[in-house]
Amino acid sequence: MNNFLNRITTPFSPYESRQAMNRFSSLSYKLLYLFTWALVVLALAAGFILLMNDVFFTMFLHAPASAAPLLLIGAASLGFQVLIRPRPLDLLKALIVSSAFILWGIDQLLAPGWAATTLGDVVITLYVIDLAWMIVDRLKQRRGSERFV
DSSP state string for 5-43: HHHHH-SS-HHHHHHHHHHHHHHHHHHHHHHHHHHHHHH
Burial of 72 by CB count in 10 Å (0-12 exposed, 13-18 middle, 19+ buried)? buried
Report the number of distinct structural domains present in the chain: 1
What residue numbers bound the domain in which 68 lies? 2-145
CA distances from 71 to 77, 98, 100, 113, 131 (A): 10, 9, 10, 21, 20
The pTM (predicted TM-score) of the whole model is 0.76
pLDDT in tens, the chain (149 residues): 455 444 444 444 445 445 545 655 788 899 999 999 999 999 999 999 999 988 887 777 889 999 999 999 999 999 999 999 999 999 999 999 999 999 999 999 999 999 999 999 999 999 999 999 999 999 999 887 765 54
